[in-house]
Amino acid sequence: MFTKKPKNQVMQEHISKNYLCKSIIKYILAVAIFLFLILVIYIHISPTVSPSLGTTRLNIETYLAGNNQPTHPSVYTFDTSWNGYKYWMAYSPYPNGNGEEENPCIAVSNDLYYWETPGTLANPIADNEETGCDELKDPHILYRKDLDRIEVWYLGRLSQRLGGSEDDHLLLLRKYSFDGVTWSDYEIMTEIDYLSPSIIWDGEKYQMWAIGYDLYGTSGTISYQESKDGYNWTNKTLCSINGENTGISIWHGSVTEYNGTYYMCFIDNKGKQKIFCCTSYDGIQFYNAQSIIENNKFWRNLYRPFLWYDGNQYICIYGVVNAANEWYITMSKGTSLDCLIGINHADLSKMYPLTDSTTNTHSMMYYLKAMYHAVRNYLRIELMLLALIEIILMRIRPKLYTSNKYFFICQILNIFISVYWIVIKMQLSKIFNLIAAIFAILIINISMSALLSWAKLCHSR
C-alpha cells in the first residue's frame, strides 16, 4: 500500500522538475546558439583570395619525413644550369615553429615546381649541434662565379648551455660547396644584431642587407655593409625607404639585383598580411614601395619573401603560416609586379609527391574543432564550487530550498563571478576567443543551475 505524498511536497517536486527541464532546454539552446555563431564566424572570416597570393604550398621534402614544413627561402638562378639544375634554393624547416629543427637545407629544381634534394645530399647541410648554437636560422644562398661554388650564409645563436643568452648578438656563419652535395665545415664570419640577411657577391665584394629586430635594439631599421673577404665588414649604413631610415614597418625580407637595379622585397610588420617591393640604384636609398602580394587572412600571416627577375618574368617565393601553425613555402610570378599570379591546387600535379598533407584551416570542421578546444581551455571547473557552497547553505537553512529569490540571487552571482573570472581576468582580445569564453560561461552557469535544481528535487523527495 502506497503512502500518499503531501500536496506541498508534490508541488515542490513539480517545481524542481521544471527547473531541471529548463536547465536541459538551456543546454540545447546554448548549443544551437554556439553552432549559429560558428556559422556566422565561418561566413564572416572566410577570406577573399587575391589572385596574387599562392594558395597551396610548394612540395619540398625536408629531412623531417612526414612533417614537411620548410620556410625562409632564397634562390639562386643560373643562366642554364649548374651541376644539373637551374634553380638552387636554401631554406630551413620550421615544423610548427620548432626552432631546434631550423637547420639550413638545399633543394633544387629546373622548373620552379618540382623541387628535390640534389644527388646524394643528406639534408641539413648544417645543424646546431656542430656549432654549439641552440638554433640556426635565416639561410641565404649565393654563387661565387670566380670560384665556381655556391655559398649558404645563415645565423646562429650561441646556446645558453655554452654561455650564451637570449639577448646575445647572433653569429653569421657560412658554408660552401663546389657541387651542392659535399659541403665545407662551417665558418664564423662575424657577429650581427640584425635578422634575415641578404648577401650578394658582385664580383669584387660581398654586399649584405639585414633587417632590425627589437630584441637587439635595431627594430625599424635596415642595415647595409660591404666586405672583400666576408670577415671584415664596413660600418653599418642605414638604408631608407621613401626617405625614411628609422621606424620602418618591416619584418623579414630580402634584396636582389638585376641589371643595376636593387629590389627589396619585405613583409609589413603590422599585420604581416602584405608583401611590398621597392627599388634602388645604389642599394641604400629605396623608393616606390608598392604592395605586390596581399594575403587577406587566407594564411595566418606571410613570412620571408625572395623576389628576382629571370629575364622574362618576376618570381616571388615566400613563406606562409596557416592557422594551425604549419609553415610552408609558396610562389607567385608574372611579367609585371602589378599582376603576379599565385600558384594553386591545380599546380600540385607538377610537384614532387609528398606523403603528408596540409591542414585545411578554412573548413567548417576545422572551425568547430578550434572552437571546441578553445571552449575547453576556458572551462573553469573550479567555478562549480560556487554551486556546492550554495547547496551547503540550503542544507544549513532548509527554508532556502523553497526560496525562488535565493535561487535567482545564486544565478546572478554565479554569472557575475564566472564572467569576471574568465573574460576580465584572462583579458581576452580576439573575437573568436571571446565567443569561446562566452560559451564556456553558458555551460558553467547552466551546469550550476542544473545542480541547484537537482538539489531542490532531492530535498523535495
Same domain, 282 and 378: no
Strand partners, 150: 143, 177
Domain that holds residue 178: 70-359
- The CATH number assigned to the domain holding 241 equals 2.115.10.20
Same domain, 120 and 219: yes
Residue 430 has pLDDT above 50, yes or no: yes
Tell whether 230 and 143 lie within a shared domain.
Answer: yes
Compute CA 444 distance to the chain's CA centroid, rounded to the nearest angstrom.
Answer: 32
pLDDT reading at 3 higher than 60: no
Instruction: Return d(Cα 448, Cα 27) in angstroms, integer.
Output: 12
Residues 402 and 266 placed together within one structural domain of the fold: no
Verify that 370 and 331 share a domain, yes or no.
Answer: no
Is residue 2 one of the residues assigned to a domain?
A: no
Among 359, 374, 395, the domain-final residue is 359
Q: In this structure, what DSSP letter does residue 217 have?
A: T
Residues 370 and 447 in one domain: yes
Residue 48 lies in a domain: no
H/E element, 445: helix 431-460
Domain-located, residue 448: yes
199: Cα separation from own chain's centroid: 26
Tell me: do 321 and 371 sit in the same domain. Answer: no
Q: What is the mean pLDDT of the chain?
A: 88
Inside any domain, residue 187:
yes
Do residue 376 and residue 348 come from a single domain? no
Residue 21: inside a domain, yes or no? yes
Q: Looking at the DSSP assignment, which residues form a beta bridge with residue 453? A: none
Q: 393: left (phi > 0), else alpha (psi -120 to 50), else beta?
A: alpha
User: Where a domain ends, among 299, 325, 359?
Assistant: 359
* Residue (of 98, 39, 13, 35) closest to 453 by Cα position: 13
pLDDT at 437: 85
Q: 125 and 159 in one domain? A: yes
Task: Mark which of 309, 328, 359 sits at the end of a domain.
Answer: 359
Residues 190 and 227 placed together within one structural domain of the fold: yes
Lowest mean pLDDT among 6-10, 43-47, 152-156, 259-263: 6-10
Are residues 333 and 369 both part of a single domain?
no
Total of domains in the chain = 2
For residue 124, being part of any structural domain is answered with yes
- Each residue of 149-200: pLDDT tens digit? 999 999 998 755 544 455 567 899 999 999 999 999 999 999 999 999 999 9
In this structure, is residue 96 part of a structural domain? yes
Q: Is residue 52 part of a domain?
A: no
